[in-house]
Structure 1
Amino acid sequence: MSYAVGIDIGGTKIAIGLVDQSGQVLAKNTLPTDHSVPPSEMVDRIAAAVKQLATAAGIKEADILGIGIGAPGPLNTKLGQITEPPNMRGWWGFPVVDSFKRHFELPISFQNDATAAALAEKWIGAAKEADNFVYITISTGIGAGIYSHGKLITGATGNAGDVGHLVVDPTVGTCVCGQQGCWEYVASGTAIARQASELLGRTVTSKEVFDLALNDREPEMERLVNQVFRNIGIGCVTLINTLDPELLVIGGGVSQIGNPLFNAVRDYVAHHALNPSGRNTPVIPAALQQEAGLIGAAALVHLNY
C-alpha cells in the first residue's frame, strides 16, 4: 500500500493526514496556526507532526509517494510560495515548498486549498461522475475549484477559482481586496455575521443569524438571510454562465444550513441562468466537508497533479 501526506494550511488551523490510494484517511492530526511565530517554525512543527503520525501508524518514508499541500490564496504554485492571503499576513511571500524540502526528500505538490478540495470531491466525493464541475466553498470567505474537460483548471500561478472577489453588489462596502461589494463581502459566513451584528447592535455568529431567521422567524434576520441566499445564487449563475458546468458542488460552513440554502440557490439558478440547460444545473452539497482539504491535498499526489 502506498500513502500520501495531505497538509491543509488554514488561517486558524492546519490539518495533517496520511491518506491511502483509495482516499481513506489512515491517521490525522491538527495544529493551531500560531501567528506569533515565523511560518518556517510552523513548518518545523508540521514536519514533526507528519513524522510522528507515520511512526505511530507504522508507515515508512519509502511507502510515502509524496506530500500534497493546500493553502489559501493568493499564492504562486510556480514558485512554491504563499503570496498574500488576507488572513495570514505573516506568511506573505513565504516559500512554503522550499521550507518543507528542509525536512523531506519526497516530491511535493502545492495548490490552492479550494482547488485541492475540488479534486477530493472528484476523487471520492460528490462529483465522481462529473467531468465539468465547480466546487464552491462558502465559509470565512468564498473560493472555488474548477474542474473542466476532465482536469483541474489552476491558472498560470494557481489562482484560478478566486471567485470570492467577483463583484456582486458594487453599492455596498469595501472588501479586503479593495473592490466594492465582492461576493464574499456580501455572502460569506463572515459577511453574514458582520451584517447581522450591524443590524442588531450586538455581535452574533452566522449560525445565530440562521437560527434567528429560520427558527425564530425574526423579520430583519429573515430579510438578511434571503438576501444572502440571493447573493449566493447570483454568484452561482455567474459561474454557470461563464464555465457551463454540469454540476455545482457547495461546501464550507455556510452550506451546513442545508435545504433552505440549496432550495433558494436552485430556484435562483432555474430563473436566471442564461442558457436553458444551465437553468437545470444540479446544485448539490459537498460530500467530504471538513476533510475535503486534507484529502484533496493528498489527491494532488495520488492523482499526479
Structure 2
Amino acid sequence: MKYAVGIDIGGTKTAIGLVDAGGAVLLKHSLPTDHTVSPAEMVDRIASAIRELTAKAGIDLAADVLGIGIGAPGPLNTRLGQIVEPPNMPGWWGFPVVESFRRHFPALDIAFENDATAAALAEKWQGAAKQADHFVFITISTGIGAGIYSHGRLLTGATGNAGDVGHFVIDPAAGTCVCGQRGCWEHIASGTAVARQASELLGRPVTSKEAFDLAASGTEPRITAWIDQVFRYIGIGCVTLINTLDPELLVIGGGVSQVGAPLFDAVKAYVARHALNPSGRQTPVVPAALHQDAGLIGAAALVHVAYK
C-alpha cells in the first residue's frame, strides 16, 4: 500500500495526515500554526510530526510514501512554490514553502495548491462530486473560496489562484473588505461576516453558530432577517458562478454549510429563480461529503490522483 502525506496549512492550525490510495486517513495530527515563530520553524515542526506519524504507523518514508501534498490559503504562487499574501498569515508573505519542505524531504515529490482547489479535488476523488466532470466546490467559513473542476480537470490559473471567488463584489453598499474593495462576497456572507453583523445588531459578542441558531428559533427577528439576507448573498454568488462557468454541480462545504437545509433550500430556490440559462436553474447544490478531514485528504489527493 502506498501513502501520501497531506498537509493543510491554516491560519490557526495545520493538519497533517497519512492518506492511503483509497482516501482513508490512516493517522493524523494537528499543530497550532504558531505565528510567534518563523514559517521555516513551523515547517521544521511539521516535518517532525510527519516523521513521528510514519514511525507510529510503521511506514517507511522512502519506500511507502509517494509524495507530500500541501494545501494553503491564497494568494499563493504554485509555479514558484510560494505562499504570497494570505491576509490572516502576514508572517508567511513571500515564503518559499515548497523549497522549505524539500530541505527535509529531498527525495519526495511535493505538490502545492490553494486549499480550496485541493478540497475540490478531494470531493471529486472521494466525495460528493465523483460523477461530475464540471463542478465548483465552494467553501464558506472564515472566508469564502472555491475550487473549480471543468472538462475533467482542475482549473487553477497561471499562479494557482483561480477560484478566489470570495472577492466577487456582491453589494458595494455593505462596507469595505480586508482586500480594499467594497462589498466582497466573503465580507458579507462568510461565517466571519455573520458573527460581525449579528454582534453589531445585538450589541454583544455573537458567534456565527449562535446567530444561525437564533435565526432558526425565530426569537430574534433582526437576526432572522440578517441570516435570510446572508442566504440571498450566498445565492447571488452561486448564480454568478453558474452563469460564468456553466457547472453541472455546486458543492458547498466549510463551517457555514453545517447550517444544513435552511441554507441549501434558500440557495437552491434562488438559483432556480435567477440563473440565466434554464439548465442552470436546475443546477444541483449539494453539501460536501468530506468535512473534518477534507483539507488533508485534498492535499493528499494532489499526490494520489497524479499517480493514477
Q: Same fold (TM over 0.5)?
A: yes
**Deviations, residues 276-304 of structure 1 (Å, cap 9, x unaligned):** 00000000000001211100100000111
In 1, the alpha carbon distance for the partners of 2:282 and 2:92 equals 41
Q: Which residue of 2 aligns with 1:3?
A: 3
**Deviations, residues 127-150 of structure 1 (Å, cap 9, x unaligned):** 000000000000000000000000
In 2, the alpha carbon distance for the partners of 1:236 and 1:194 equals 22
**Deviations, residues 27-79 of structure 1 (Å, cap 9, x unaligned):** 00000010000000000000000000000000001110000000000000000
In 1, the alpha carbon distance for the partners of 2:201 and 2:223 equals 9
**Deviations, residues 217-249 of structure 1 (Å, cap 9, x unaligned):** 310001000000000000000000000000000
In 2, the alpha carbon distance for the partners of 1:248 and 1:48 equals 37
Q: Which residue of 1 aligns with 2:299?
A: 297
Q: Which residue of 2 aligns with 1:208?
A: 210
Count of residues in correspondence between the two structures: 305
Q: Which residue of 1 aligns with 2:244?
A: 242
In 2, the alpha carbon distance for the partners of 1:264 and 1:185 equals 20
Q: Which residue of 2 aligns with 1:123?
A: 125
How much does 1:216 deviate? Answer: 4.0
Does residue 72 of the first structure (1) align with residue 73 of the second (2)?
Answer: yes
Contact 2:146/2:165 (<8 A) preserved: yes
How much does 1:211 deviate? Answer: 1.0
- Is 289-298 or 261-270 further displaced after alignment? 289-298
Alignment of 1:59-98 (within 5 A): 59-61=59-61, 62-98=63-99
**Deviations, residues 180-206 of structure 1 (Å, cap 9, x unaligned):** 000000000000000111111111100
In 2, the alpha carbon distance for the partners of 1:253 and 1:172 equals 22
Secondary structure, counterpart of 1:147 in structure 2:
strand
RMSD of Structure 2 on Structure 1 (CA)? 0.7
How much does 1:172 deviate? Answer: 1.5
Secondary structure, counterpart of 1:51 in structure 2:
helix
In 2, the alpha carbon distance for the partners of 1:79 and 1:217 equals 51
In 1, the alpha carbon distance for the partners of 2:21 and 2:257 equals 28
In 1, the alpha carbon distance for the partners of 2:146 and 2:218 equals 32
Alignment of 1:1-305 (within 5 A): 1-61=1-61, 62-105=63-106, 106-304=108-306
- Is 222-231 or 288-297 further displaced after alignment? 288-297
In 1, the alpha carbon distance for the partners of 2:35 and 2:177 equals 23
Secondary structure, counterpart of 1:171 in structure 2:
helix
Secondary structure, counterpart of 2:241 in structure 1:
helix
| TM-score (norm: length of structure 2) | 0.98
Contact 2:218/2:224 (<8 A) preserved: no
**Which amino acid is the alignment partner of residue 116 of structure 1?**
A
In 2, the alpha carbon distance for the partners of 1:83 and 1:221 equals 37
In 2, the alpha carbon distance for the partners of 1:256 and 1:270 equals 22
**Which amino acid is the alignment partner of residue 50 of structure 1?**
I
In 1, the alpha carbon distance for the partners of 2:188 and 2:203 equals 18
Gaps of 5+ in 1: none
Secondary structure, counterpart of 1:250 in structure 2:
strand
Contact 2:67/2:110 (<8 A) preserved: yes
| TM-score (norm: length of structure 1) | 0.99
In 1, the alpha carbon distance for the partners of 2:23 and 2:225 equals 41
Structure 1 consecutive aligned stretches of length 4 or more whose deviation exceeds 6 Å: none
